[in-house]
Chains A and B, each alone.
Chain A
Amino acid sequence: MALKALDYDSLNENVKKCQYAVRGELYLRASELQKEGKKIIFTNVGNPHALGQKPLTFPRQVVALCQAPFLLDDPNVGMLFPADAIARAKHYLSLTSGGLGAYSDSRGLPGVRKEVAEFIERRDGYPSDPELIFLTDGASKGVMQILNCVIRGDGDGILVPVPQYPLYSATISLLGGSLVPYYLDESENWGLDVNNLRQSVAQARSQGISVRAMVIINPGNPTGQCLSEANLREILRFCYNEKLVLLGDEVYQQNIYQDERPFISSKKVLMDMGSPFSKEVQLVSFHTVSKGYWGECGQRGGYFEMTNIPPRVVEEIYKVASIALSPNVSAQIFMGLMVSPPKPGDISYDQFIRESKGILESLRRRAKIMTDGFNSCKNVVCNFTEGAMYSFPQIRLPPGAIQAAKQAGKVPDVFYCLKLLEATGISTVPGSGFGQKEGVFHLRTTILPAEEEMPEIMDSFKKFNDKFMTQYDNNFGYSRM
């Protein structure tokens, strides 16, 4: 009898331990229901184009021309493409050594990295070195590369916010490291208290864990909060004192829906702080073409910028990047276009601004509609979505619901979300997928459904929720913060 080659038992334990709820149980159930013909509204992942947001015209024109360069030789190309798109396509093709079909430098095309550096410099007011910028197939791959570098074994801990985007917990699991949680404070608009950080680090160290890095997601996912400059300074000072490398996930930097706390990059704050911080705090910042008002998730385009990482470590990171040969070239061009969009006077400028503004203003309105909508529901409390793309309402489940969940063998928020899905077709991700305080339940949804559909969706949710609460209501009190 043949030996079993690979069975479940012999799989890498780290793989078995890793969880990624964003495409987990709820999503799989939603997909099943969709196959059966039910209308599903997928709000489980920040995937704007899947919910009707249109791609910006200019970048698609440029990339299409790069894809099919024979078009550039055709005398009629001007009938289909504006002159600035044509010029830009020629520009990006000249940065490649063989067009979209050739592997680029493993760190990405030098010309595009230069454009990214210039963007960072304009944004922050401090110089940026293209040699310290690596383009990646999406920001997620960049995060994985850096964590792979930092995590040596389970003795290494990474500070991760709770709630967090589960790329971090999943990757730490896969790499065999330890996740050291620090709790964001829901009652303070998901604010970060340095005392919580200190406590988390102390506890981890007492268990023999070497805390090596700290992740911040700013604007937050799933929580949406935008960190204040003061908060960022505290965090950077903390990292300096505790010898932590700061991993700044800044993929939502374009998605800001309030004016009190505009986006300010970790790098800018670090440089503003001056010596010794600016010269010694190690920082890796991540960005992407998937979010913002671009929403080009399917391109898989991202970058990370390294600050105060020793040259020999940069070499090692380069070495590992070279094994994957190169990031996809189309996405690199999207990134170039994102960091150097049409300027006033360009033919495509007006259209570009109109499209971008339209998307951002609508997102801002939807953030409000959703927050208000959740807050009008029985037993639901929702912090305002200051940024990013999500709403993360707290669902105060009555004991009866928690009981029913137990009996069904489900975690309470999973139970709630499954019922919500089956009743309304709204596919969310239970808060347990992101982490939350014990006994406190949430769900994450996106603010991405089309504006016209929002009122109906919120209505549908409210009907389900209020009915659910009434059904499981009893006099013994509720889950609460």
Chain B
Amino acid sequence: MSTSDSTSSLPVTLDSINPKVLKCEYAVRGEIVNIAQKLQEDLKSNKDAYPFDEIIYCNIGNPQSLGQLPIKFFREVLALCDHTSLLDESETHGLFSTDSIDRAWKILDQIPGRATGAYSHSQGIKGLRDTIAAGIEARDGFPADPNDIFLTDGASPAVHMMMQLLLSSEKDGILCPIPQYPLYSASIALHGGSLVPYYLDEATGWGLEISDLKKQLEEARSKGITVRALVVINPGNPTGQVLAEENQRDIVKFCKEEGLVLLADEVYQENVYVPDKKFHSFKKVARALEYGEKDIALVSFQSVSKGYYGECGKRGGYMEVTGFSPDVREQIYKVASVNLCSNISGQILASLVMSPPKPGDDSYDSYMAERDGILSSMAKRAKTLEDALNSLEGVTCNRAEGAMYLFPRINLPQKAIEAAEAAKTAPDAFYCKRLLNATGVVVVPGSGFGQVPGTWHFRCTILPQEDRIPAIVNRLTEFHKSFMDEFRD
């Protein structure tokens, strides 16, 4: 056997790996980010070669990487649970708030042997699930069962689990909003299913029309696809809209009538910036319609990565699974058990997020100040960036009612589109790369999320600290003007 033969027939090569891996895409950390990282590396030694000093990552909802601070109370509790002997030291009382110490004790008592380093129950520690269920009930006014909760390493693995259960082949379809957070398209591709798109309406603030849902559903069915579930992201990503309760009721009814599992991505539930909208969980809406376990199968996803806590690196989250028969739930449990359990620190944090300090607690005032500070700043930044984008020639930007992103539409001149084609790049990617090279700001082309064909967008986070926003706005405005000067029809 010659050497050259053996190299070409290696078991693992690009031609021989799982085609589903090749097919899936995830633009949030895709090509543009790779370019940005190379630039960042080069900046270290070649500062003068660039019209900017630093790369600003506005591609990903990663608040603490851009200077947002964690909520102190949460970290106090987590640190005490990490190193429990602190609780035996008298000096600890001088360094930690009283209620964080109390909460740590309460949590440790819910963990067998106080062993935070042990694998837990595969759904997560029971006591923490009790706390989360109570938090859900307090939020919605309807009961939640701790046995319906599966704690996971962030919300994303929970989404994967559901896709794995629902998708057996390409004949199984999942209705997804366009634009969508590309976890959904990637997960559907990895699990070999079909994405059935439904378009959100940019002209009406990214509204969801039931008639469009119906149309897409029927079309898919006519092609022989069994549509299994409907994904709704509320508040929306990348679009930022907060659904009206009326709309949510229609969605719930639609799922019931059509026998679809409702997959409710609610990770931005605490990020609502406009006084005329409010977050309502789909569970609450369903129960308020008197839809119970027998009426609708609903999976609600929550995470510790967003909100005002922004704890992305902790990988904490859960799904609340309702409306499934016991034999299906057994299968969900079984799949969860193969990975044993999610990380304990993330589990604890999920319980803290769902039961933060209350009035009267030692940390309440400082907690509220931190929380309100972060949320009001986000609202402000959302508005500032929205206004700045709307002031650009040929750019329209819907307001960010919630979540962490702006998704402006750019009316690209024909010349720009042709230049992009010549560069073998999608027009929005072409714009974004130019933006990056001129300003150091990293955004994600709209094609990474899906958009109506012939329209171009990009997603930009609202997360750089307030004092950086003016500089970003200036650079963006300058760049856009020169881009339009170059390519204006």
Contact = CB atoms under 8 A, between A and B. Distances in A.
Contact of B65 (A6, A97, A213, A244): A97
Contact of A316 (B22, B76, B314, B337): B22
A299 B346 CA distance: 9
A98 B343 contact: no
B17 interface: yes
B313 A4 contact: no
Contacts of A419: none
Interface stretch (A65-73, A126-134, A367-375): A65-73
Interface in B90-119: 91-92, 94-95, 112-113, 115-119
A309 interface: yes
Contacts of B7: 280
B11 A64 contact: no
Contacts of B67: 98
Nearest to A167: B338
A101 B117 contact: no
B302 interface: no
Interface in B7-39: 7, 9-14, 16-19, 21-22, 24-26, 28-30
A320 B259 contact: no
Given A103-B60, A243-B6, A323 B24 contact: yes
Given A298-B341, A300-B153, A150 B190 contact: no
B186 A297 contact: no
Interface string B206-242: 0000000000000000000010110000000000000
B64 A98 contact: yes
Nearest to A315: B14
A310 B13 contact: yes
B157 A324 contact: yes
Contacts of A103: 60, 62, 65, 305, 312-313
B338 A50 contact: no
Contact of B313 (A64, A80, A98): A98
Contacts of A99: 64, 70, 313
A102 B62 CA distance: 6
A104 B315 CA distance: 11
Contact of A101 (B70, B182, B334, B344): B70
Contacts of B92: 80
Query: A interface, how many residues as a size bin?
Result: 35 or more
Interface in A236-257: 240-241, 243-245
A135 to B, nearest CB: 12
B328 A297 contact: no
B344 A11 contact: no
A152 B314 contact: no
B73 to A, nearest CB: 10
A63 B260 CA distance: 44
B139 to A, nearest CB: 23
Interface stretch (B78-86, B275-283, B388-396, B448-456): B78-86
A216 B221 CA distance: 45
B328 A280 contact: no
A286 B146 CA distance: 34
B165 A310 contact: no
Interface in B277-324: 295-297, 305, 310-315, 323-324
Contacts of A71: 79, 95
Question: In the complex, which of the residues A74, A312, A323 has the most CB atoms of chain B within 10 Å of its own CB atom?
Answer: A323
B447 interface: no
Contact of B95 (A4, A80, A245, A309): A80
Nearest to B96: A68
Interface in A39-68: 45, 47-50, 52, 55, 57, 60-61, 63-65, 67-68
A187 B103 CA distance: 54
A313 to B, nearest CB: 6
A24 B166 CA distance: 22
Query: B interface, how many residues as a size bin?
Result: 35 or more
B315 A328 contact: yes
B484 interface: no
Question: In the complex, which of the residues B25, B260, B313 has the most CB atoms of chain A within 10 Å of its own CB atom?
Answer: B313
B271 interface: no
Interface in B343-357: 343-346
Contact of A329 (B76, B86, B229, B313): B313
Interface in B255-269: 255-261
Contacts of B83: 60-61, 63-64
Interface string A1-32: 01111111011111110111011100000000
Contacts of B66: 98
Contact of B297 (A5, A19, A47, A148): A5
Contacts of B186: 323
Contacts of A20: 334, 337-338
A167 B7 CA distance: 30
Interface string A299-339: 11000000011101100110110111111111100000000
Contact of A68 (B11, B75, B324): B75
B3 A323 contact: no
Contacts of B297: 5-6
B331 A102 contact: no
A177 to B, nearest CB: 10
Contacts of B154: 324-325
Nearest to B153: A137
Given A141-B339, A297-B119, A323 B85 contact: no
A329 B314 contact: yes
B128 to A, nearest CB: 12
B246 interface: no
A76 interface: yes
B96 to A, nearest CB: 8
A50 B118 contact: yes
A34 B14 CA distance: 50
B343 A322 contact: no
A56 B168 CA distance: 44
A278 interface: no
Contacts of B70: 99-101
Question: In the complex, which of the residues A12, A20, A152, A212 has the most CB atoms of chain B within 10 Å of its own CB atom?
Answer: A12
A45 B120 CA distance: 11
Given A2-B257, A5-B255, A63-B83, A282 B11 contact: yes
B11 A243 contact: yes
B91 A76 contact: yes
A330 B345 contact: yes
Interface of A: 2-8, 10-16, 18-20, 22-24, 45, 47-50, 52, 55, 57, 60-61, 63-65, 67-71, 74, 76-77, 79-80, 96-104, 106, 137-138, 140-141, 144, 148-152, 167, 170-171, 174, 212-213, 240-241, 243-245, 276, 280, 282, 290, 295-300, 308-310, 312-313, 316-317, 319-320, 322-331
14 contacts: A5-B259, A5-B297, A6-B165, A6-B228, A50-B112, A50-B118, A64-B79, A212-B11, A240-B6, A243-B10, A280-B7, A297-B119, A310-B10, A326-B312
CB-based closest 4 A-B pairs: A3-B259, A64-B83, A68-B79, A329-B313
Given A18-B335, A103-B312, 18 more contacts: A2-B259, A6-B166, A11-B331, A15-B165, A47-B119, A49-B118, A50-B119, A67-B82, A68-B78, A77-B95, A101-B70, A103-B65, A167-B338, A310-B13, A317-B21, A323-B26, A323-B182, A325-B154
